């Protein structure tokens, strides 16, 4: 355990270490790498424009750290796609990417399909609801991968203010992590329990690794990635970077419950895959909530997708695009 802790502490950084973006650009050029950024979106018109503007201005126009910025949208009913295009992002409808593979609604689906749409050797994914966006949300994730060829996958962590009806608490976000995921990791994968924000929506990885991973189309995509990277590469391939603070909209307890349901589904799927925990019972496909109606409790059944996309390297369309000579 002490050795595991020291590995993660050694691979834990503060964003300020990578603030010299000119140095990062030089490293990128020297290593002949391309870097792509994608935002998975669904009805994010309030924040997506500013996010694209800040990142494009500082990390594409002023210094060419990022080679492309894309938005992969699940079918927004607001102006997310129009705003994104106006601010200079390449915009894709998720359903239009790899049409022969069909489509599902979910963040993980957008991330999986972005691997086909984007061209970078390093892929950065950023959530589209960040209210305090800054270039550090991107360069801090890219920096460790440019500095250290042994690192494969980098997660952001931060303080997450929690908005209540009366006030804004300086921390308290990340409730699913502390109530569900950290206990699971502590029980079954204590090495991963030292990740501060395992479910953060800001992370980056090398294409050569990402194309080998399965993607849960819904809430479990981050946990699934961590377990798969851990098994494929070991704890030493993971790094985490402190971004200081992330301000975004907080979800309701009901939404967090559904999220936890999806994450547990992915966890049990990985238990079966790796044979480390014997899970024999078939799991229920529906999340069950109870709404209070007067003096009665009314059950609400919500189907939470358990679909997993296969490693995209297995798709002929993908291999034809990225490995036309069979490499």
What distances in angstroms separate CA 12 from CA 64, 152, 196, 231, one per listed residue? Answer: 26, 14, 10, 20
CA atoms within 13 A on the CB side of 239: 26
pLDDT in the model for residue 44? 97
What distances in angstroms separate CA 266 from CA 127, 215, 251, 255, 295, one per listed residue? Answer: 20, 10, 21, 17, 35
Using the 8-state DSSP alphabet, how is residue 313 labeled?
A: G
Does pLDDT of 167 surpass 60?
no
Domain, as residue range, for 180: 2-322
Ranked by mean pLDDT, the top range of 3-17, 31-45, 265-279 is 31-45
pLDDT in the model for residue 1? 56
Residue range 219-235: mean pLDDT, rounded: 96
Cα separation, 92 vs 157, whole angstroms: 28
Q: Summarize pLDDT for 234-259 with one digit per residue, the tens.
A: 999 999 999 998 885 566 788 888 88
Q: Summarize pLDDT for 130-148 with one digit per residue, the tens.
A: 999 999 999 999 999 999 9
Cα separation, 65 vs 137, whole angstroms: 13
Residue 221, in any domain of the structure: yes
Say if residues 231 and 152 touch (Cβ distance below 8 Å).
no
Other Cβ atoms less than 10 A from the Cβ of 213: the count is: 23
Cα separation, 304 vs 62, whole angstroms: 43
Residue whose pair of structure tokens reads 């359903």 in the numeric block: 95
C-alpha of 60 from chain center: 22
**What's the domain count of the chain?**
1
Cα separation, 323 vs 317, whole angstroms: 10
Residue range 168-185: mean pLDDT, rounded: 75
Give CA angle at 40 (45, 163), nearest 5°: 60
Residue 327, in any domain of the structure: no
Query: What are residue 249's phi and psi, to 5 degrees?
Result: -75, 140
| Beta-bridge partners for 226 | none
CATH number for the domain that contains residue 75: 3.90.550.10
What is the torsion angle, in degrees rounded to the nearest 10, for the CA atoms of residue 272, residue 273, residue 277 and residue 279? 0
Residue range 183-211: mean pLDDT, rounded: 95
Q: Summarize pLDDT for 63-109 with one digit per residue, the tens.
A: 999 999 999 999 999 999 999 999 999 999 999 999 999 999 899 99
Report the DSSP pairing between strands 68-73 and 90-93. Answer: parallel
Residue range 175-194: mean pLDDT, rounded: 93
Give me the DSSP letters along 200-223: -S-EEEEHHHHTTS-EESSTTHHH
Cα separation, 97 vs 89, whole angstroms: 16
The two tokens of residue 241 are 């970077």
Using the 8-state DSSP alphabet, how is residue 115 labeled?
A: H
| Beta-bridge partners for 89 | none
Rg (alpha carbons) of the chain, rounded to whole number: 20
Cα separation, 133 vs 250, whole angstroms: 16
pLDDT in the model for residue 239? 97
Residue 90, in any domain of the structure: yes
| Beta-bridge partners for 91 | 71
pLDDT in the model for residue 165? 46
pLDDT in the model for residue 40? 97
pTM recorded for the entire structure: 0.90
What distances in angstroms separate CA 299 from CA 264, 288, 289, one per listed residue? Answer: 20, 7, 6
């Amino acid at each position: 355990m002490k050795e595991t802790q020291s590995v993660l502490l050694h691979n834990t950084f503060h964003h300020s270490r990578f603030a010299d973006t000119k140095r990062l650009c030089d490293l990128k050029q020297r290593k002949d790498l391309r870097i792509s950024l994608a935002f998975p979106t669904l009805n994010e018109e309030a924040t997506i424009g500013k996010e694209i503007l800040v990142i494009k201005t500082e990390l594409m126009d002023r210094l060419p750290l990022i080679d492309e910025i894309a938005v992969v949208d699940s079918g927004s009913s607001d102006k997310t796609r129009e705003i994104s295009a106006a601010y200079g992002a390449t915009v894709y409808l998720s359903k239009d990417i790899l049409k022969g593979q069909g489509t599902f609604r979910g963040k993980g689906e957008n991330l999986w399909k972005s691997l086909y749409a984007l061209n970078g050797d390093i892929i950065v994914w950023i959530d589209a609801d960040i209210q305090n966006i800054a270039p550090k949300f991107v360069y801090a994730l890219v920096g460790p991968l440019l500095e250290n060829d042994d690192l494969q996958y980098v997660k952001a962590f931060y303080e997450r203010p929690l908005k209540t009806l009366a006030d804004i608490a300086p921390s308290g976000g990340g409730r699913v992590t502390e109530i569900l995921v950290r206990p699971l990791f502590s029980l079954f994968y204590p090495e991963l329990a030292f990740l501060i924000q395992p479910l953060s929506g800001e992370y980056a990885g090398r294409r050569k690794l990402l194309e080998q991973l399965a993607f849960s189309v819904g809430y479990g995509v981050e946990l699934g990635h961590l377990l798969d990277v851990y098994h494929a590469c070991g704890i030493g391939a993971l790094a985490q970077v402190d971004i200081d603070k992330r301000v975004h909209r907080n979800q309701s307890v009901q939404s967090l419950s559904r999220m936890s349901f999806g994450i547990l589904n992915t966890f049990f799927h990985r238990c079966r895959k790796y044979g480390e925990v014997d899970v024999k019972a078939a799991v229920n496909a529906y999340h069950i909530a109870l709404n209070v109606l007067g003096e009665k409790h009314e059950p609400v059944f919500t189907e939470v997708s358990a679909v997993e996309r296969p490693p995209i390297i297995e798709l002929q369309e993908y291999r034809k695009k990225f490995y036309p000579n069979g490499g």
